[in-house]
Amino acid sequence: MRKLIYILDIICLFGAAIASLGCLSLAVMLIVEVITTSFLSYSQPWAVEYSGYFLAAILFAGSGWTLGQGGHIRVNILLQFVEARGLRLADLVMSFCALILVVYITSAVSENSLRSLQLGSVSYYPTRTPLWVPQAVLALSWIFLCLGLVARSLRLIMGLPSDKSDESLVE
């Protein structure tokens, strides 16, 4: 079971790496855009469109990993009065609820991508990007979040710490 949790954690970290790559690409692309528009009177025709796609990856691909880091916000005001065993049970119940919800959302965004593929939908920007590709990345991002929730639930069942915290600048 521990090996399974380890594999799930690695997959979630891979999601965070995709988000990081998206972040780096966005920054580089927009810095280049500022330089080219200011000094060369040239604008990258894909800049606006792809900044949106990169944003989607940044916001969601690392969500599963963030969950494992304790980075998502929750209200613990009542739970702090519950004893340790009750707290673990409440956490497990809420993790299951979240998992059901995220499976629903994942299936909805995956269907959306499949629909775009079947209809041959393309973006209205000059690049005419097939929309199913960035939508599939978004669906994959939600799958990472599903896996993060599975890992969390398994940890709770096994009595392991549910998440870890590191240095954070979370608002």
Q: State the Cα–Cα distance between residues 162 and 150, nearest whole angstrom.
A: 11
The residues near 135 (Cβ < 8 Å, ≥ 6 apart) are 109, 112, 113, 116
User: Contacts with another protein in 67-126 (CB under 8 A)?
Assistant: 69, 71-80, 90-91, 93-94, 97-98, 101-102, 104-105, 107-109, 111-112
User: Smallest distance, Å, CB 169 to another protein?
Assistant: 4
Q: State the Cα–Cα distance between residues 125 and 85, nearest whole angstrom.
A: 54
- Specify whether the CB–CB gap between 155 and 161 falls below 8 A: yes
Under the criterion CB under 8 A, does residue 130 sit at the interface with another protein? no
User: Contacts with another protein in 134-163 (CB under 8 A)?
Assistant: 134-135, 138
Token pair, residue 116, equals: 């775009």
Alpha carbon distances (Å) from 64 to 68, 97, 142, 156: 7, 16, 8, 16
Token pair, residue 83, equals: 């004893």
User: Smallest distance, Å, CB 122 to another protein?
Assistant: 14
User: Smallest distance, Å, CB 91 to another protein?
Assistant: 7
Binding site for another protein (CB under 8 A): 16, 19-20, 23-24, 26-27, 30-31, 33-34, 48, 51-53, 55-56, 58-63, 65-66, 69, 71-80, 90-91, 93-94, 97-98, 101-102, 104-105, 107-109, 111-112, 134-135, 138, 167-171
